[in-house]
């Protein structure tokens, strides 16, 4: 089974840049999308369904903002929208699909780059999400958490850790949360196979950052320890360019 996670920074924009053609060629079993900035009614869903996907949507209530979606070739046993935290659910940040062998969470973590108010909300959201996942693990221990986490975990995950040490997305408190996350029984799937620097999933649209590979690794697929034995590969698809992010992927046996 191949699973992809991809922040599209606007699904409609990505479609104009060839997203559907790329999806046809790459043919993942499941693709988790963040920051879709669209509703189901804004998209030619028939073109996606024609590829064999069942589509599940959780847009933000604010038009043209945030939102997540999952396209899956396998029918889930259950789908739930949101995780019962009002502001997060208003912004369309979490969708959960229960399959026979695992539960898939597609999450778009908030950014704090716009100022102190959103940074404070980011910390609140992280605490709420951690609490939610802790409870979920009690009944559904095999979890896959895809998404744009909006945090670089370690210095290896960012092109310039020194100058960005006070930047949202690489703050000590955010990195400590990631420590806690992985200490709680999650595996950073990409780092199981790759311990090299300069492997990024997001680049600023300024100063030719992508061309110069001045990026950040903020997109992750975390898996429960119980799934690790099934992990065959994980990667970052840096050549795919429909967004300021690129897809990240895992393959399970």
Catalytic residues: 148
Q: Counting beta carbons within 10 angstroms of the beta carbon of residue 4, is it exposed (0 to 12), middle (13 to 18) or buried (19 or more)? A: buried
Q: Which ranges of 113-160 would DSSP assign to H, the alpha helix?
A: 116-139
Q: Strand pairing partners for 112?
A: none
**Region for residue 41 given its phi and psi (left: phi exceeds 0; alpha: psi -120 to 50; beta: otherwise):** alpha
The residue behind tokens 């559907």 is 20
Q: Counting beta carbons within 10 angstroms of the beta carbon of residue 152, is it exposed (0 to 12), middle (13 to 18) or buried (19 or more)? A: buried
Contact indicator for 61, 81 with CB cutoff of 8 Å:
no
Tally of residues, the chain? 253
- Token pair recorded at residue 99: 């399959």
Q: Strand pairing partners for 94?
A: 107
């Amino acid at each position: 089974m191949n699973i992809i996670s991809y922040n599209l920074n606007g699904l409609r924009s990505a479609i104009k840049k060839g997203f559907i053609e790329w999806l046809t060629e790459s043919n993942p079993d499941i693709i988790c999308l963040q920051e879709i900035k669209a509703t189901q009614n804004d998209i030619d869903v028939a073109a996606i369904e024609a590829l064999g996907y069942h589509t599940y949507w959780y847009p933000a209530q604010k038009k043209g903002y945030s939102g997540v979606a999952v396209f899956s070739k396998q029918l889930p046993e259950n789908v739930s929208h949101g995780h019962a935290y009002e502001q997060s659910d208003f912004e369309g940040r979490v969708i959960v699909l229960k399959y026979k062998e695992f539960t898939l969470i597609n999450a778009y973590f908030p950014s704090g780059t716009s100022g102190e108010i959103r940074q404070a909300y980011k910390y609140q959201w992280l605490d709420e999400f951690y609490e939610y996942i802790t409870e979920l693990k009690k009944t559904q221990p095999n979890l896959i958490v895809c998404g744009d986490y909006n945090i670089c975990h370690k210095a290896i995950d960012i092109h310039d850790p020194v100058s960005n040490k006070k930047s949202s997305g690489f703050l000590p408190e955010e990195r400590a949360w990631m420590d806690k996350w992985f200490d709680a029984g999650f595996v950073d799937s990409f780092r199981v196979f790759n311990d090299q620097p300069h492997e990024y999933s997001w680049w600023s649209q300024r100063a030719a950052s992508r061309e110069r590979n001045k990026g950040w690794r903020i997109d992750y697929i975390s898996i429960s320890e119980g799934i690790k034995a099934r992990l065959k590969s994980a990667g970052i698809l840096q050549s795919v360019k429909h967004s300021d992010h690129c897809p990240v992927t895992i393959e399970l046996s």
